[in-house]
Amino acid sequence: MTTATRPRGETRAADRPPVTRSERFRRATRWWPALPLVVLFLVPYSALPLPGLLDGPIGSPGNLQLLSLCLVFGALATGYDLLLGRTGLLSFGHALYFAAGTYVTNTIMLEAGLPFAVSAPLGLLAGVALSALLGAVSLRVTGIGFSMVTLAFAQAASILVQRDPGGVTGGEEGRAAPADKLPAALIGIEHTANLYWVALAYLVVVLLVVQWAVRSPTGRVWEGIKENERRVEVLGLRPYGFKLTAFVLAGALAALGGIVHLLLTGGATPQTTTSDFTLSLLVMVVLGGSGTRWGPLAGGILYTWADHRLGDLSGSGAVTGLPAVLRVPLSQPLFLLGALFVAVIYLLPGGLVRLPARLRAARTLRAATGGKAAL
C-alpha cells in the first residue's frame, strides 16, 4: 500500500520520527508517583525505626498520627498554592474554610444528631458556599486590598468562634466529636492505621484535583492572571470569574481537609480559625516552593514534622544542658522553625523543590569552568 492509497491516520513505523532518549525517559518515568504512593500505603505495616526522625517503629500509633497530620497539611498547602502560586492571590483567610469543614461537620453531629456520613457532605457544602460568598466579595479588590479583606473575614470568624454564641463552638476549648456518630472503624488507637489511610486518600484527591485544574484551560488562564492580569483582560477574558473559580476550588479542598482533621484529632478547636494558621500555610508553600507540583506538599510535610519534633528537641536533655545563651532560644520551637525558614529563604531561593535543579546547574557550571566555580 502506497502513501497515497494508505487510509488517513495510518502511518508505517518507518514514517514515524525516531523516539529520542529524553522522550523514552519521560515515558518510563511517567508513572513514578505510583511508587511512593505504594510505599506510603504500606507504612502502617512497617516496624522499621527511623532514629532521629521518629520515635520507635514507623507503624506505631503515635508515628502514624504524626504522619497523618503531615499528609493532611501537605495536601492543604498544595490546595492553598492554587491561590498563591498558580493565580497570584495572597489570601490571609484560607484557614476559615478549613475551620468551616471542621466546625460545621462537628456541630451538625452534635446538635442535629446526624451521623458522620451525612454531616461530612454538609460540612463540605458549607465550606464551598462560604468560600463562594466571601470570595465574591474579596475579589472585588486586588493586591494588598484583597489580602486585607480576607484577613478581616478570618479575624471576624475567629472572634465569633471564641465568643461561643449559643454554646455551639465551645469557645477557647473547642468541642469534641461525638464518638457514637463517627464510623466505628475510625475510633480508637487500634484504628489509627485507618485514619492514616483516610489522610493518604485526602492527599491523593488533592494532588489529582490540583493537577487536573492546573493543566486545564482554566489553569492556563490562572497562570496568565498571575503573570499579567491586564493582558488577560485585553484578550477578552474576565479575570474575576477565573479567580473566583480558583478561590472556591481551594476553599473546597480546605473544607475537605478540615473534615479529615476532625477525624484525626477527634474534635474542633479554635486554633484552626486564626490567621496564624493561614500564615503557617504560607510558610509551608514558600518553604517547599510556590507554584510547583511537589513543593507545597514537601513544605507542608516538613513544617508539620518540624513543628512536632522540634518541640521534643527543645525539651530534651541535650538542650537543657547548654549555656543559657544557647539554651533559651533553642528551647523555643517557634525560634527553631523561624531559623529554618530564614535559612531556606536565603540559601534556597524558590524553595526546597528547586534544590536538585540548582545542584545540577552548579555541576554543569563547574564542569564548564574546569571545577573553579562554587555552589
Residue 52: inside a domain, yes or no? no
CATH number at residue 145: 1.10.3470
What is the pLDDT confidence band of residue 20, given thresholds at 50, 70 and 90? low
More confident position, 336 or 140:
140
Quickly state the pLDDT bin for 331 (edges 50, 70, 90): low
Does any domain span residue 256? Answer: yes
pLDDT of residue 307: 83
Domain that residue 290 falls in = 59-346
Hey, is 188 helix, strand or coil? coil
Structure confidence at residue 338 as a pLDDT band (50, 70, 90): confident
**Length of the chain (residues):** 375
Q: Which amino acid is at 21?
A: R
Q: Is residue 299 part of a domain?
A: yes
State mean pLDDT over 81-88.
93
pLDDT reported for residue 1: 47
SS (H, E, C) 311-326: HHHHCCHHHHCCCHHH
**Interval 345-360: pLDDT, tens:** 787 777 888 877 777 7
Domain membership of residue 39 (yes or no) is no
200-209 residue pLDDT tens = 999 999 999 9
CA distance 115 to 112: 9
Is residue 53 situated within a structural domain? no
Domain count for the chain, please give it. Answer: 1
| C-alpha distances in Å from residue 40, one per residue of 10, 159, 225 | 43, 38, 36
Q: Is residue 2 situated within a structural domain? A: no
Distance CA 348, CA 355 (A): 7
**Which residues, including other chains, have CB under 8 Å from residue 15's CB and lie 6 or more apart?**
3
361 part of a folded domain: no
178: confidence class by pLDDT, cuts 50, 70, 90:
very high
**Does some domain include residue 44?**
no
Average pLDDT over residues 312-338: 66
pLDDT tens digit sequence for 37-47: 888 999 999 88
Task: Tell me the per-residue pLDDT of 187-229, one tens digit each, with 9 for 90 and over.
Answer: 988 899 999 999 999 999 999 999 999 999 999 999 999 998 9
101/120 Cα distance (integer angstroms): 8
Q: What is the pLDDT of residue 111?
A: 92
What is the secondary structure of 284-347 as a DSSP string?
A: HHHHH-TTSSSHHHHHHHHHHHHHHHHHHHHTSHHHHTS-HHHHHHHT-HHHHHHHHHHHHHHH
Phi, psi of 121 (to 5 degrees): -60, -35
Residue 14: CB atoms within 10 A of its CB come to 5
